[in-house]
């Protein structure tokens, strides 16, 4: 009876934490999707290289010698580079306002900014006296065309991100809420009901919080503080199972708390550390979680001791998903590094602050 009441209570908690499916969102909200992500370093770098490649090819027309090509390239770059940077900065600064527009409106605004940027680049050449006559119409048309190509690339990237994020999320749920973990946690709570009811209630609250985060609507990012708190709840549950065998060390830098990371980032990683570094060893093991601000970046380190091999071989699913979601969110600004020795396994993540 007590077991059934506990299971029933847990089911109610999980049901109450149910997420609102994306399909249930209003039609107008689904149509207004933010696609302009030009504030990231990787996006800026790719856009500049793409435009520079176009300029290099355009300079070949009419250039009979290498010196003539270099001269034409320098002139065109003097107009194209400031123009593309102006477009990127404008779109970055107005990305929130642009995200409120429907997709056709976003297209129109971005192409319009591209035409204005082309005129700006042409104006610089005219001001320096490098072109005569002034190609105003050609510059505006070129700016509009290039911006349309860039918007198409951003649109494609935004559409590709959706299914990739959904796939990663489903994989995380499978890797994170495995049946044995659920039953072990419930058994821990059942065992504590008679001897320590308050602690049993705390275990169920931690488990309910894990399910709430797993089943809630996925947000674009969360703070590192939220992820640390979720990892603490998970490790508190595992501490019930392993007791003194699980030795946890925290080194947290308050200046790193505001960093934005993908949701469900730390929990799968500390679960891996417990599963492969503590569970197989009779004497248990040590898990160290540290955060530190390093200038404009935040470093996250997870280190666990290594002993006997795990009873079941891992597939690296959690590591691949975390790496993928970091790349989707921060592009080239994030780094994910692994270091393995006979005594320990270390994972290092760098994200912008």
The DSSP 8-state label assigned to residue 100 in this structure reads T
The domain made up of 2-19+164-352 has a fold known as Heat Shock Protein 90 (3.30.565)
pLDDT < 70: residue spans in the chain: 1-37, 158-182, 184-185, 188, 213-220, 308-316
pLDDT of residue 179: 58
Bridge partners of 68, per DSSP, are none
Task: Give the Cβ contact number of residue 29 at 10 Å.
Answer: 9
Residue tagged 């107009």 (tokens): 79
pLDDT of residue 301: 94
pLDDT of residue 209: 74
The DSSP 8-state label assigned to residue 218 in this structure reads P
pLDDT of residue 308: 57
pLDDT of residue 293: 93
pLDDT of residue 288: 93
pLDDT of residue 29: 38
**Distance in angstroms (rounded) separating the CA atoms of residues 37 and 54:** 22
pLDDT of residue 231: 87
- Concatenating the DSSP letter of every residue in 243-289 gives GGGEEEEEE--GGGTT-EE-SS-HHHHHHHHHHHHTTT-TT-EEEEE
How far apart are the two ends of the chain, measured CA to CA in Å? 51
**Is the previous residue joined to 279 through a cis bond, with omega within 30 degrees of 0?**
no
In 3-state terms, the chain is what percent helix, strand and coil (to 5)?
65, 10, 20
Of the candidates 231, 281, 306, the one whose C-alpha atom is nearest the C-alpha of residue 261 is 231
- Per-domain residue ranges for the chain? 2-19+164-352, 32-163
Model-level pTM?
A: 0.60
């Amino acid at each position: 009876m007590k077991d059934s009441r506990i299971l029933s209570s847990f089911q109610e908690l999980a049901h109450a934490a149910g997420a609102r499916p994306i399909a249930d969102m209003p039609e107008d909200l689904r149509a207004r999707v933010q696609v302009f992500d030009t504030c990231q370093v990787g996006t800026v770098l790719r856009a500049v290289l793409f435009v520079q490649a176009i300029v290099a090819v355009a300079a070949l027309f009419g250039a009979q010698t290498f010196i003539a090509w270099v001269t034409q390239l320098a002139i065109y770059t003097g107009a194209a580079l400031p123009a593309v940077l102006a477009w990127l900065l404008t779109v970055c600064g107005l990305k929130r306002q642009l995200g409120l527009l429907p997709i056709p409106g976003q297209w129109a605004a971005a192409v319009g900014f591209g035409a204005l940027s082309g005129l700006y680049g042409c104006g610089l050449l005219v001001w320096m006296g490098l072109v005569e006559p002034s190609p105003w119409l050609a510059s505006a048309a070129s700016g509009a065309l290039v911006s349309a190509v860039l918007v198409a690339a951003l649109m494609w990237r935004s559409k590709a991100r959706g299914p990739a994020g959904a796939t990663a999320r489903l994989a995380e749920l499978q890797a994170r809420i495995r049946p044995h973990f659920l039953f072990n946690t419930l058994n821990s709570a059942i065992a504590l009901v008679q001897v320590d009811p308050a602690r049993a209630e705390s275990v169920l609250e931690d488990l309910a919080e894990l399910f709430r985060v797993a089943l809630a609507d996925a947000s674009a990012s969360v703070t590192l503080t939220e992820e640390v708190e979720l990892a603490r709840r998970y490790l508190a549950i595992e501490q019930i199972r392993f007791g003194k065998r699980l030795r946890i060390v925290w080194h947290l830098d308050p200046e790193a708390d505001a960093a934005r990371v993908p949701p469900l980032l730390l929990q799968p990683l500390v679960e891996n550390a417990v599963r492969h570094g503590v569970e197989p060893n009779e004497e248990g093991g040590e898990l160290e979680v540290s955060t530190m601000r390093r200038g404009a970046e935040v470093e996250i380190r997870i280190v666990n001791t290594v002993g006997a091999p795990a009873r079941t071989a891992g597939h690296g699913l959690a590591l691949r998903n975390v790496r993928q979601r970091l790349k989707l969110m921060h592009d080239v600004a994030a780094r994910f590094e692994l270091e393995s020795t006979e005594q320990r396994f270390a994972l290092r993540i760098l994200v912008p602050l």
